[in-house]
Amino acid sequence: MGFAKSLATFRKQMAKICLIIHQAISKSLTVWLVTFLSFPFLISCSQESGQTPGDSSSVKSEEIEPIGGIVMPESAFTMKDGRIIVSEIGEFNPTGKDGDGKIIEISLDGSKKVIADKGLNDPKGILVEGDTIFVTDNYEVKKVSFSGEVETWLSAKDFPRKPQFLNDITMDRNTMIYISDSGDISNGGGGAIFRVDSNRKVSVFVDAANDPNILSPNGLLSFQRGFLHFNDFANGFLFRVRLKDLVVEKLDEGFGGADGLVFSGTSLYLSDWKNGKIFKMDVSKVDGETIVLKEGMNGSADIDVTTDGKYLVIPEMKSNRVVFLPL
């Protein structure tokens, strides 16, 4: 239970931020303004309009049909304008094949558009910045334009050591880019998180040398000022790293084959790929609870939340589809 103190501290920080934001909202600043000022670099803590915390009259968003016909989708990334970008692995390396990966765009109305279908092997984590889609692809990171051009942004030799299984990618408020390497995906261990500076120089951010519990980092999330959060596919732990001194804190555990990690409203959402579960961790209260929001999925991978906050977008990898879970 050595991590309980870290979790309590994290919850206190989050609860305090949420309280400040709710007070600002009640002083008639618009939710939009608060969200604009605080998202994505701090925290949004937004509530549905007209809804007060604990209001049980809220109506769930309507059900939306899953979008099928996507071979091994790994990651969903929702853009500010509402578009949803998804990586499609195709057949899987090393038993699968190279060259069959895709980047596609999907919509809640069920439509699906191929953005790129050449030059990709097993694309996974996505970061969209301006007109560029950055995507991890085994040992490389590629840049994909919305007109379909694919080029290598970081090759294996740009890394300080050979990547084994590049997974997620995210960016912080200082435009530092972070990339997780899940290491030995079968046995766990050997993973790291790399950091890329504005000169495209890659360094090891953290690995087992910082904390022996870091085995196979997977989902990355930059939502709390001064920290990078991540989860671990091998041990199911949730961590955060303090950016100024790289102190690693374990915040929680029990997330199985942890994969996706996203923040929306007042909760962190985590996916467990191995056991097909989605967890919701309320961080607005010091004693907020963590619940299983959905289970029985077939490879729930790298999740995101729709721009309107109404649905969790879940690539259900082994069912070859993307599922929308009403929140």
- Binding footprint of Ca ion on the chain (CB under 5 A): 90-91, 96, 100-101, 122, 167-168, 218, 259, 302
* Rounded least distance, CB 91 to Ca ion, Å: 5
* Rounded least distance, CB 120 to Ca ion, Å: 8
Whether residue 66 contacts residue 323, with contact meaning beta carbons closer than 8 Å, is answered with: yes
Whether residue 279 contacts residue 292, with contact meaning beta carbons closer than 8 Å, is answered with: yes
Would you say 98 or 253 has its CB closer to Ca ion? 98
Would you say 227 or 273 has its CB closer to Ca ion? 273
Would you say 17 or 206 has its CB closer to Ca ion? 206
Beta strands (DSSP E) in 33-174 are 67-68, 73-78, 84-88, 102-106, 112-116, 123-129, 132-137, 140-145, 150-154, 166-171
Would you say 42 or 171 has its CB closer to Ca ion? 171
* Rounded least distance, CB 124 to Ca ion, Å: 6
* Rounded least distance, CB 205 to Ca ion, Å: 17
Whether residue 194 contacts residue 158, with contact meaning beta carbons closer than 8 Å, is answered with: no
Whether residue 143 contacts residue 127, with contact meaning beta carbons closer than 8 Å, is answered with: no
185 to each of 136, 178, 220, 257, 306, how far by Cα in Å? 15, 19, 17, 10, 29
Would you say 100 or 172 has its CB closer to Ca ion? 100
* Rounded least distance, CB 299 to Ca ion, Å: 11
* Rounded least distance, CB 23 to Ca ion, Å: 36
Would you say 91 or 117 has its CB closer to Ca ion? 91
- Return d(Cα 298, Cα 281) in angstroms, integer: 21
Helix%, strand%, coil% for the chain, nearest 5: 10, 40, 50
- Return d(Cα 271, Cα 285) in angstroms, integer: 21
